[in-house]
Structure 1
Amino acid sequence: MTEIVRLTPDDEALTTAGAHLLRNAFGGPDRADKYRESTARDVVFAAVDGRDLLGVTSIRPYGQWFAGRELPMGGISAVAVAAHARRRGVARGLLTRAIEQMHGDGQPVSTLYPSIPPAYRSFGWEVAGQLAVIELPAALLATAGAAGPAGVKPTADVALRALDRAQPSDADLAAVHALYTAAARGAVGPLTRTGPLFAPAKLAEPDGVVIASVEGTDAGYVSWSREEIPDAAPRLEVHDLIADRQDVRDALLAAAGSWHTSIRTTRVRLADPVIGGIGLPRGRFTWHEPWMLRLVDVAGAVAGRGFGPLGGDVDLEITDPQAPWNDGRWTLSVAAGRGTLTPGGTGAVKLGPRGLAAVFTGYAGAAALRSANLADGDEASLARLAALFAGPAPWMLDDF
């Protein structure tokens, strides 16, 4: 008989088996020690039949920015089902328990990177944002800003300094986090990078971190790691490129691209996907890794989210089989950048958790919701609902 239990560091046999299951599912080293550490920090569930491990999943404690406000978020990670336990409802049991746990823990939203999107859609997650990456020749980065458009200050006005990886100063660590927060706070989707998974010292883990300043004021930074690839040339992975001025961005790109004598290819994660179209050189290609969102507590999620200047009311009828506390008719009211969801109304727009997820980040408009059969009802009300949540393209720089 299948039972869902919470793993603890003391259960050495099951944590070792869990680490091995994750290696089978996703590759990489068999790190029982790291997995045991995660059971102390994260909520880790295992599906077991006696002492036979059937599957595992983890909920990581994150925070996520939504238009100037932070929402506690449960990051679903490392969902794996053993080969001999497939088609027995193991994943269903794990995800059902995870939704209940996040609701009890006060995490109104949940995000994950899907390996099998249909499996998560059946539990209410839907694509709601992207992690965008552009691939560029390192030599092209090295020349960034050399021949910029008229009116753009030359990169010579930008001063660069390296963060000391061995002994990073508290001031530099704080500067990097403040620059990231300034870029992420007003956006929709990026992690807050606070809490137990983001100790300040982690900011110094990449192979290189360079901070840019203009007239003594920090204005941006870039971080990268050299990736050694078997049977292929090494690649430079740019984790963060944070700057709101083109001259600063060019100076940081040139610093990362200076490794072009030994590295040919660079992959840059985009803090805002739009930058890939208007602020960076044309690359070989750009791809987007989708992330999925679920509203665990719709009223809490709406109350904790920021909104734009547009206000108004929309009546909703929500059906959520896995989270029945979300079921029913609600009135969404938005005014002065805040939203509330109160019971009642006419149910003019009918939708489930997938439609809520796609519209909540502004990822999908009214036409997309209709074409995907994620919403139904009064057309004017649906258009108003999409307009209330509309904003910048939802993005994230961190995967998990």
Structure 2
Amino acid sequence: MGNLEARRLDDSEHDEFTSVFGAAFLEDSEADLARLRPIVPHVTPLGVFDDAEMVGCGGHYSTYMSLPGARSCPVAGVTLVGVKPGHRRRGVLTALMRAQLDGLRDADVPLAALYASEGAIYGRFGYGMASFENHLSLPGRVAFRGDVEVDERPVREIDLDEALPAIYAQHARAAANRPGWIGRDSAWRARERMRQARAGRAPYRCALHDGGHAIYRVSPDWTERGPDYRMEVVSLVADDPASYAALCRHLLDFDLVSEVTWRKAAIDEPVVRMLVDPRAAAQRVVDGVWLRLVDVEAALTSRDYLADVDVVLEVRDAFCPWNEGRWRLRTRASAVERTSEPAQLALDVADLAAAYLGGSTLHQLAAAGRVRELEPGALTAASRALAGDRAPSCPDAF
């Protein structure tokens, strides 16, 4: 391996970027590359070069993320990360992560987020498992409890692009109170077009209600017993419980559909608690968004807290040493500052990221040996403060 250089790419290098990513994920047919190319202009692309050859790639979307306390802040949605076959385990990904995180720090972006293709990769770069996804499956026409209020306003089937103004507005309203949600814009629509274009995938459909919307697709099938259609919910956004119930009933009540699946449901998805028989919902929890605190001070001052706490954190950060050291968090004063006072809790930056949205509590991480309490009482106080009212989730892939 020669000397690796990681740098930002110009427009003339976008096709090579696409080819490297396609090769990394074994999706390098012309059809695959045609599907990927429209995405690249929406990201800040980086390439890693071994002399003149691009051997790694990655990029990020500039968007925002909702945080506990109805707050939000800029986040880099890291995506399209790949290493060319034949060049793995030679420092390419490390060079890419180094260049990207340095660039985000220079641009004053406090958070970076990604979905991990493999769960063991990104912890060494300071990313923590910050949310979980619920792979939810419901039988068609499953019954709701009698006390569930269903909004009687109509749900209309509408072309997705025609519905975009309403989708953006409804999503922005709902996202304010859903930690982990990211913004929707033209880049989001380009990503959804890319996923729609995968070979053999059914087209997206959109159900629009005055109080929300659902995006879904249906795979038809017939057996000797009759129709056996399967529906996949891509996302469901609602202003209030009654609108949410109306959209759920619209999806569940199609006569031909035997099963409705939702791979990016939240682990506290309300529909489960609306059912007469909660066991009718099959649920499997997997990791969701992985989060990186690019700037610990800026990140901790960007969110609200459920309880007052004054605690000194000893933060380890081997990959971004500017975060390393002791930080005093005072939630009542909305202050985070470096300090020489004795530490009360010690943890890695990846574990602070895991607790940042409320997806894991510091108590849970301490039980796994990942957080050390250095002063009695500090763990409970800090864990309560960092917790959230709702489980973080992210309905959008990136």
Q: Smaller-chain TM-score range?
A: 0.7 to 0.9
Which residue in 1 is equivalent to 2:78?
Answer: 76
Match for 1:114 among 91, 113, 116?
116
- 1:110-259 aligned at under 5 Å gives the runs 110-140=112-142, 144-145=143-144, 148-150=145-147, 152-153=148-149, 155=150, 158-162=152-156, 164-165=158-159, 168=162, 173-194=164-185, 196-197=187-188, 207-212=204-209, 218-227=210-219, 235-243=230-238, 247-259=242-254
Question: Which stretch shows the higher mean deviation, 263-272 or 321-330?
Answer: 263-272
- Counterpart secondary structure, 1:300: helix
Q: Give CA deviations for 1:296-332 in whole Å, capped at 9, x if unaligned.
A: 1011111221333x21211112221211111222110
AA aligned to 2:384 is A
- Cα shift at 1:39: 3.8
Q: Report the TM-score, using the length of structure 1 for normalisation.
A: 0.83
Paired residue type of 2:75: M
The amino acid that maps onto 2:6 is: I
The one-letter code of the counterpart of 2:261 is R
Corresponding residue to 2:334 among 332, 339, 342? 339
- In 2, are the aligned partners of 1:241 and 1:271 still within 8 Å (CA)? no
Letter matched to residue 129 of structure 1: S
Deviation at 1:295, TM superposition (A): 0.5
CA distance, structure 1, for counterparts of residue 353 and residue 161 of structure 2 = 42
The residue identity in structure 2 corresponding to 1:399 is A
Match of 1:64 in 2: 65
Q: Secondary structure at the match of 1:73?
A: strand
2:355 maps to 359
Query: 1:279 matched to which residue of 2?
Result: 274
Shift of 1:132: 2.0
Question: Does 2:266 correspond to 1:265?
Answer: no
Instruction: Show CA shifts across 1:53-78 (max 9, x none).
Output: 32222212221100211111112212
Q: 1:271 Cα deviation (Å)?
A: 4.8
SS in 2 for 1:122: helix
Deviation readout 1:263-317 (Å, 9 max, x if unpaired): 3321134356242541345445212331211101011111221333x21211112
Between Structure 1 and Structure 2, how many residues are aligned?
375
Q: Name the counterpart of 2:200.
A: none
- Counterpart CA distance in 2 for 1:175 and 1:266 is 24
Give the direction of change, closer, same or farther, for the CA distance of 1:138–1:361 in structure 2 (3 Å limit): same
Contact 2:132–2:359 at 8 Å: present in 1 too? no
Q: Judge conservation of contact 1:222–1:241 (CA < 8 Å) in 2.
A: yes
User: Shift in Å at residue 356 of structure 1?
Assistant: 0.9
Residue 92 in structure 1 maps to residue 94 in structure 2: yes
The alignment's C-alpha RMSD in Å is 3.0
Name 1:215's counterpart in structure 2. none
- Match among 312, 315, 319 for residue 318 of structure 1: 315
Amino acid corresponding to residue 364 of structure 1 in structure 2: S
Q: 1:314 to 1:285 in 2, by over 3 A?
A: same
Corresponding residue for residue 301 of structure 1: 299
Q: Is the Cα–Cα contact under 8 Å of residues 47 and 90 in structure 1 kept in the other structure?
A: yes
**CA drift at 1:123:** 0.9
The residue identity in structure 1 corresponding to 2:184 is R
Secondary structure class of the residue paired with 1:15: helix
Identity, in percent, stands at: 23
- 1:161 positional shift: 3.6
State the shift of 1:129 in Å: 0.4
2:363 partner amino acid: A
Q: Distance in 1 between matches of 2:14 and 2:265?
A: 40
Contact 2:25/2:82 (<8 A) preserved: no
CA distance in 1, matches of 2:113, 2:261: 24
Q: Where does residue 391 of structure 2 map in the other structure?
A: 393
Unpaired segments ≥5 residues, structure 2: 197-202
- The SS at the match of 1:303 is helix
Question: How far apart, CA to CA, are the structure 1 residues paired with 2:39 and 2:207?
Answer: 30
Question: What SS does structure 2 have at the residue aligned with 1:178?
Answer: helix
- Gap change, CA 1:13 and 1:340, over 3 Å in 2: same
